[in-house]
Amino acid sequence: MSELNKIAIKILSNGKGILAADESNGTMTKRLESVNIQSSPENRLLFRETLFTADSMRDCIGGVILYDETINQKSSDGKTIPAMISKTGAVPGIKVDTGAKDLANSSDEKVTEGLDGLRERLKKYYELGARFTKWRGVYSIGEKYPSKLAINSNAHALARYSALVQECEMVPIVEPEVLMDGEHSAEDCLIKTSEVIQKCFEELIIHKIDLTGIILKPNMILAGNKSKNKITNEEVASKTLECLKKSVPKEVPGIAFLSGGQSEIEATENLNLINKSNNTDFIMTYSYGRALQQSALKFWSKDIKNIEGTQNVFNHRARMNTMAAQGKWSSELENK
């Protein structure tokens, strides 16, 4: 077992998932302002530190993805944020892409940037305590999309990123997100997501990536948010498993789903159904942002000094998702 594989397994084992706390300052500002809290470095840190010191960090969270601002901040007791996270047994990680920009010659689509200077940034993040990283490629579904150009460009960038990350002895999260925005059917999502993931692995193999030392972070197979043809949660699970079985090489240790605009309960229920039917060797867990934090954020915004109450809300959500990652969740548990 390689060191990279050990890190990946530590993050994903025993029903643990990943807390995606890597919102950019712009995104975090929108989230805080939506609940009438001023977005200052202090308030952004206070909310995150409230989550990072919650009891469920030890039992439910295997890794935390940070943003550049946060990984460089100190906690209220003077510790670095990576040291605070490591103390809970979770692994600190860092988002390293610089965002999705318009794709030249296909301006309705995006390509993720951030390769320039990445090797040097990775060394700095490693010294700060990060042991895994994240890079997100985004793809839209439409009549002509995602184009071959977008699929190939993002797969190539994800592979080059992964090579640099593994060279620096960190685990890359490979996140190809096919967005749920649009009128497309779940069948369209299945076809396009399969194509996107297969191309990513073609490029990863060309770039000599150690597949036992990565984590895949895909979307679930869903109908578009404006689609007239919604599918059941059971169908979400079966189509998602169908996609992954035919697209992901067996060497990959685990898959941590993004929530991609699903509600908290939907993201938990779908993860649970996937694990109830999971007859693969892949660990299948969660890497959620909003679907782990939204209720806690709403509660916290009423009184930002009520740390314990906010942590109780977060603990509940984390525990529900960890139950789902083991196929043991039920809706009755939500009300206990």
Question: For the segment 268-291, what is each residue's pLDDT rounded down to a tens digit?
Answer: 999 999 999 999 999 999 999 999
pLDDT above 80: residue 12? yes
pLDDT above 80: residue 30? yes
The helix-helix angle for 290-302 and 307-324 (nearest 10°) equals 160
pLDDT above 80: residue 329? yes
pLDDT above 80: residue 312? yes
- Domain containing 268 equals 3-334
At residue 336 the predicted structure's pLDDT band, cuts being 50, 70 and 90, is: confident
* Phi and psi at residue 37, to the nearest 5°: -115, 135
Q: Average pLDDT in the 134-145 region? A: 96
Beta bridge partners of residue 5, listed in sequence order: none
| pLDDT, tens digit (0-9, with 9 covering 90-100), for 48-102 | 999 999 999 999 999 999 999 999 999 989 999 999 999 999 999 999 999 999 9
Give the CA count within 13 Å in the CB-facing half-sphere of 47. Answer: 26
Rounded to 5°, angle at Cα 262 from 98 and 37:
65
At residue 107 the predicted structure's pLDDT band, cuts being 50, 70 and 90, is: confident
- Say how many residues make up the chain: 336
Run of H or E including 286? strand 283-288
pLDDT above 90: residue 320? yes
At residue 114 the predicted structure's pLDDT band, cuts being 50, 70 and 90, is: very high
The catalytic site residues sit at 175, 217
| pLDDT, tens digit (0-9, with 9 covering 90-100), for 140-164 | 999 899 999 999 999 999 999 999 9
| pLDDT, tens digit (0-9, with 9 covering 90-100), for 161-214 | 999 999 999 999 999 999 999 999 999 999 999 999 999 999 999 999 999 999
DSSP conformational letter for 212: G
Q: Average pLDDT in the 20-29 region? A: 95
Q: CB–CB of 32/62 below 8 Å? A: no
We report the CATH number of the domain holding residue 171 as 3.20.20.70
**pTM across the whole model:** 0.97
Question: What are the tokens at 126?
Answer: 């490693």
Question: What are the tokens at 242?
Answer: 């169908």
pLDDT at 241: 98
Q: Classify 78 in phi/psi space as left (phi over 0), alpha (psi -120 to 50) or beta.
A: left
pLDDT at 279: 93
pLDDT at 1: 79
Mean of pLDDT over the chain: 97
pLDDT at 335: 84
Of 98, 91, 90, give the one whose Cα is nearest residue 135. Answer: 98
Q: In total, how many domains does the chain have?
A: 1
* pLDDT above 90: percentage of residues in the chain: 97
